[in-house]
Structure 1
Amino acid sequence: MTVRQFDVVVLGSGPGGEGASMKAVKSGRRVCAVEQSPYVGGACTHTATIPSKALRHAVQRLVDVQGDHPELRAELARTTTLRDMLRTAYSVVSRQVQLRSTFYERNRVDLVVGKARFLDANTVEVTEPRGSVELLSAKAFVVATGSHPYHPPGVDFSHPRVFDSDTILKLRDAPQTMLIYGAGVIGCEYASMFRMLGVKVDLVNTRDRLLSFLDDEISDALSYHLREQGVLIRHQEEMEKVEAREDSVVLQLKSGKQLKADVFLWANGRTGNSSGLGLEALGIAVDSRGCIQVNDAYQTSVPHIYAVGDVVGAPSLASASYDQGRFAATHIVEGRLEHKLVKDIPTGIYTSPEISSLGRTERELTKAGVPYEVGHAFFKSLARAQITGRTVGMLKLLFHRETRELLGIHCFGDNASEIIHIGQAIMAQDGPGNSIDYFINTTFNYPTMAEAYRVAALNGINRLF
């Protein structure tokens, strides 16, 4: 059998795979990308980020129209179904696939559809959908196969009332009640989304607070607003058993509680797509959740085999995965580490309102003994927020008391994931360029949400003495 030769073979066409492929091919390398699905984009495009955020936007628009035109509320509720909103979401997916496909075509990256498995450290075997086999050889490999929802034993995911974060997007009609087990980013986003649709939601959290990696004030704000919207949050609970019935699902908790709802959504963790790749035979370590172990350059224990994106675990963000792919390809073609690519990556959480965070939290700064101060800008005081009616939220800046260096940015409110990038540009500056004084000495358009930076900076400076 003929073996096709390449400089770099990339397994997966999600953000990590795309980042690696484009960086390598633009550096003059001959690149082949292997994708198991007939369409490029990975889980990000097909089952996770894009469809869920498009659905959220459709839901938010419906809620906004209902709020602005209460006389239409009953008619909209009757005529606009979850199915209609999902159809809109998947139209976005289709456009994204078309766009991303042109990247591979225009840059002349060979694209092979099929399931890949390493035969040895320099050869992969790709089994195509019709059963034919192709052999690919390369000097370097990038594994960017992504992840899928973790399925615990004892939960019947084939039952029509039991869903995970992939299959929930196939729900045809909004239920009256929903149980969500797992209050991480995915669980909180879907809790917010379905509550906006009028679904009664129980959100079961295995920890003592929501999204504990966030700044405490932001986490508390999220809890408050989810509860205000009507989500019932149950902290420090663990699943004992899930009983899927014909007409409902019953969740039994180890605390003795029993919760009943029309549907059950499991949102407690994901598993790396590393099984079946033949990594074990190469001595490449994989943990209990299928995540591949890598070093700072994203190299596995076999130096010319790299792994990036969700298959290596946290932070499991599409933005981070793309940069990790570029990072790995840079190391392949130039032999250098580009740490700046993976430093200070913002977190975007698409609850309603949104959350975005960058840098350190108050808890981290206090523990490290860093002398910092806090500046707040509450959206309810901003003219632009008053004009749009989106007054819930705040921007919070953390900065060094002595050097005034910006240490952390935390935003809760409408368009938080966009607002964060203004501060990100300042945090990326070296030396005196990274100073909270930038926001005081810069003129912002008025009225804008960007003005929140000036308000927060002045508020923080006023605390100094």
Structure 2
Amino acid sequence: MGVKNYDVVVLGSGPAGEGAAINAVKLGKRVAVIEMAPMLGGNCTHLGTIPSKALRNSVKQIITFNTNPMFREIGEPRWFSFPNVLRSAEKVIGKQVKSRTSYYARNRVDIYFGRGSFVDANTIEVIERNGSVERLHTEKVVIATGSHPYRPADIDFNHSRIYDSDTILKLKHTPRRLIIYGAGVIGCEYASIFSGLGVKVDLIDTRDKLLSFLDTEISDALSYHLRNIGVMVRHDEEYSKVEAFDDGVVMHLRSGKKVKGDALLWANGRSGNTQGLGLENIGLEANSRGQLEVDQNYRTKVESVYAAGDVIGWPSLASAAFDQGRSASGNASSEDEWRFVDDVPTGIYTIPEISSLGKTEKELTDAKIPYEVGRAYFSAMARAQISNEPVGMLKILFHVETLEILGIHCFGDQASEIIHIGQAIMNQPGEGNTLRYFVNTTFNYPTMAETYRVAALDGLNRLF
């Protein structure tokens, strides 16, 4: 067995792995990527971000068709099965794999399909899918192996009616009633998706409010709209046991309640993919959630080994993972300074969307920072009225004295796009970050971008 030499070896081809590999090549390094799955793209492309968002888009179109009066002239509302709707997502996955494969080929990155593990800090052994074994010697390693759904031992995930956020994409029928355990981002997104398909959803939340990291007003709006579309949200509940039968699932809650459904989607936490990497051979240990600790340069406690993406925990977003991977390989490849990714906008693809950046009202209040609020309601915006998307709001938090923008929170259609206008201004140096930018800038009309002008004027009107 020969040894092949590389400057950087990347474990995993998801967003963090791709960012790391392509950036290292641009910096003149010889790079190899090891991917355990038979195709490139990682869980983001095949099991997470891409399929769930493609699925959401299809469901949103169905909701529009079934609720818009203009389409009622065509015929009665239509019912669509989950497997049929899922087919559109599968087409997107194929396109994404093709694109991502071309990136590696164009940049001459060597790809090994198989399981990689550490022999020592500079040697990776790869057992390829065809059974052959390769050894790669490398100066630096970037671990970007992602994460998987947490599975408690007392729940039978082999049962045909019990799913997690990976296996739910293999659902072959449309349940009449679905139990979703865990009301984090994934749980709330799938609650929106299935409710949009006419499924009765019980969303079991182990906390006292939905997505507590959000601004309270936005969290409350999400709760209202989920309930408005028929989702039964149950707060402060934990399961005691789950019974699965041929015809359904019963979840017993510690409060004494029993919740029945045709299927269960477990969406309560994820763990880093660090098992089988041979970390013990380099003196590296993952925490109880399978995650690796890194410093501001994305370096682990082993000098030649870096990590990025879901495998390091927060914020566990594809958007951040790309940049974390770039920074990790940048630090591994160059003496230049590469940023620590901490200004990440939140994008939650419920129906409607949620996106936020910066401080919440509670954080500013607790810090005793004098702030004021500017709001623009979508129901009053011409573009939202034209597109028949009146639900939502843009909320700007700004400093009373300097008018510095401190936080932006958006709930409604295209929120994840709208947020980036504010992000660009918040990142301006010095006095460039000010609410007055939105008052003194002409926006196209009608657009959703002009919500910033409306919100800014609303905020200035509150000053005295």
User: Distance in 1 between the 2:359 and 2:77 partners?
Assistant: 46
User: Are the aligned partners of 1:237 and 1:254 in contact in 2 as well (CA < 8 Å)?
Assistant: yes
Change (3 A) 1:464 1:275: same
Other-structure match for 2:152? 152
CA distance in 2 between counterparts of 1:399 and 1:357 reads: 14
> 1:227 corresponds to which residue?
227
1:301 matched to 2:301? The reply is: yes
What is the CA distance between 1:342 and its match in structure 2?
1.1
Residue of structure 1 in register with 2:448 after alignment: 449
Q: Does 1:352 align with 2:351?
A: yes
* Number of the residue aligned with 2:429: 430
Find the aligned partners of 2:28 and 2:89 in 1 and give their Cα distance: 36
CA contact (8 A) 1:358 1:420 kept: yes
Describe how 1:60-71 pairs up with structure 2 within 5 A: 60-68=60-68, 69-70=71-72
**Counterparts in 2 of 1:35 and 1:393: CA distance versus 1, 3 Å:** same
Determine the C-alpha separation between the residues in 1 that align with 2:74 and 2:138.
Answer: 60
Contact 1:127 1:133 in 2 (8 A): yes
Count of aligned pairs: 462
CA distance in 1, matches of 2:74, 2:390: 23
Structure 1 distance, partners of 2:265, 2:337, is: 40
Contact conserved, 1:247 with 1:262, CA < 8 A, in 2? yes
For residues 453 and 76 of structure 2, what CA distance do their matches in structure 1 show? 42
Q: Which amino acid aligns with 1:86?
A: L
- TM-score, scaled to structure 2: 0.98
1:376-410 CA deviation, whole Å, 9 max, x = no partner? 00101111111111100000001111111111110
1:418 is matched with 417
How far 1:75 sits from its partner (Å)? 6.4
Match of 1:98 in 2: 98
Question: What's 1:399 paired with?
Answer: 398
TM-score between both structures, scaled by the size of structure 1: 0.98
CA shift for structure 1 position 237: 0.5
Report SS of the residue matched to 2:237.
Answer: coil
Q: Residues 392-433 of structure 1, C-alpha deviation per residue, up to 9 Å, x if partnerless?
A: 000000111111111111000000001001001101111111
Amino acid paired to 1:169: L
Is it true that 1:2 corresponds to 2:17 in the alignment?
no
- Are 1:215 and 2:215 matched, yes or no? yes
Contact 2:66 2:77 in 1 (8 A): no
Once the two structures are TM-superposed, the CA of residue 464 in structure 1 deviates from its matched residue by 1.2
Identity percentage of aligned residues: 60
Q: Residue type matched to 1:438 in 2?
A: Y
Instruction: Give me the whole-angstrom Cα distance separating, in 2, the residues matched to 1:120 and 1:333.
Output: 20
Q: Is the 8 A contact 1:428 1:434 kept in 2?
A: yes
Q: How far apart are the structure 1 equivalents of 2:253 and 2:75? A: 37
* Alignment RMSD: 1.1
1:281 Cα deviation from its structure 2 partner: 2.8
Does residue 271 of structure 1 match 2:274? Answer: no
Q: For residues 413 and 278 of structure 1, what CA distance do their matches in structure 2 show?
A: 45
* Structure 1 residue aligned with 2:78: 76
Structure 2 matches for 1:17-166, cutoff 5 A?
17-68=17-68, 69-70=71-72, 74=76, 76-77=78-79, 80-166=80-166
Distance 2:93 2:207 in 1: 34
Query: What is the DSSP-based 3-state SS (H/G/I as helix, E as strand, rest coil) of the residue aligned with 1:410?
Result: strand
The Cα of 1:60 is off from its aligned counterpart by: 0.8
Q: Is this contact kept in 2: 1:40–1:101, CA < 8 A?
A: yes
Tell me the secondary structure at the aligned position of residue 76 of structure 1. coil
Take 1:271 and 1:65, find their aligned partners in 2: how far apart are those partners?
38
Native 8 Å contact 1:284 1:293 kept in 2: no
Distance in structure 1 (CA, Å) of the matches to 2:326 and 2:231: 40
Alpha-carbon distance in 1 for matches of 2:393, 2:278: 48
Per-residue CA deviation, residues 324-344 of structure 1 (Å, 9 max, x unaligned), is 0011111112234423x6131
Provide the C-alpha distance between the structure 1 equivalents of 2:438 and 2:280, rounded to a whole number of angstroms. 52
What is the distance in 2 between the residues matched to 1:336 and 1:287?
Answer: 30
Q: CA deviation at 1:26?
A: 0.6
What's 1:255 paired with? 255
Offset at 1:10?
0.3
Give the distance between the partners of 2:75 and 2:162, measured in 1 at CA: 30
What's the offset of the Cα at 1:72? Answer: 5.4
Matched, 1:460 2:459: yes
Distance of 2:409 and 2:78 partners within structure 1? 35
CA distance in 1, matches of 2:113, 2:216: 45
CA contact (8 A) 1:161 1:249 kept: yes
How far apart are the structure 2 equivalents of 1:70 and 1:168? 32
Partner residue, 2:12? 12
Determine if the alignment matches structure 1 residue 379 to structure 2 residue 378.
yes
Query: For residues 366 and 442 of structure 1, what CA distance do their matches in structure 2 show?
Result: 30
Residues 276-355 of structure 1 aligned to structure 2 (within 5 Å): 276-339=276-339, 342-355=341-354
Q: Per-residue CA shift, 1:328-364, capped at 9, x if unaligned?
A: 111112234423x613111110000000011111111
What runs of 5+ residues in structure 1 fail to find an aligned partner? none
In structure 1, C-alpha distance between the alignment counterparts of 2:239 and 2:207, rounded to whole Å: 12
Q: In structure 2, how many angstroms separate the alpha carbons of the residues matched to 1:63 and 1:385?
A: 16
Offset, 1:38: 1.5
Within 2, Cα distance between the matches of 1:247 and 1:309?
39
Offset of 1:73 from its aligned partner? Answer: 6.2
Which segment is superposed worse, 277-286 or 377-386? 277-286
Matches within 5 A, 1:236-247: 236-247=236-247
> Where does 1:196-211 land on structure 2 (aligned, <5 Å)?
196-211=196-211
Q: Distance in 2 between matches of 1:3 and 1:91?
A: 39
CA distance in 1, matches of 2:264, 2:118: 37
Query: Deviation per CA, 1:67-97, whole angstroms, max 9, x where unpaired?
Result: 23236565631xx422221111100000000
Residue identity opposite 2:351 in structure 1: S
Give the C-alpha shift of residue 66 in structure 1: 1.6
Summarize deviations over 1:99-150 as a string: whole Å, max 9, x none.
0000000000111110001001110100011211000110000000000111
Counterparts in 2 of 1:245 and 1:449: CA distance versus 1, 3 Å: same
Which deviates more, 59-68 or 109-118? 59-68
Task: Quote the Cα distance in structure 2 between the aligned partners of 1:371 and 1:35.
Answer: 50
Q: Distance in 2 between matches of 1:202 and 1:90?
A: 27
Unaligned stretches of 5+ residues in structure 2: none
How many Å separate the matches in 2 of 1:405 and 1:304?
Answer: 41
- Show CA shifts across 1:131-178 (max 9, x none): 110001100000000001110011000101000001111112211000
Could you say if the C-alpha distance between residues 285 and 335 of structure 1 is closer, same or farther in structure 2, counting changes exceeding 3 Å?
farther
In 1: Cα distance, 2:173 partner to 2:442 partner: 48
Return the alpha-carbon distance in structure 1 between the equivalents of residues 148 and 131 of structure 2: 24
Q: What's 1:168 paired with?
A: 168
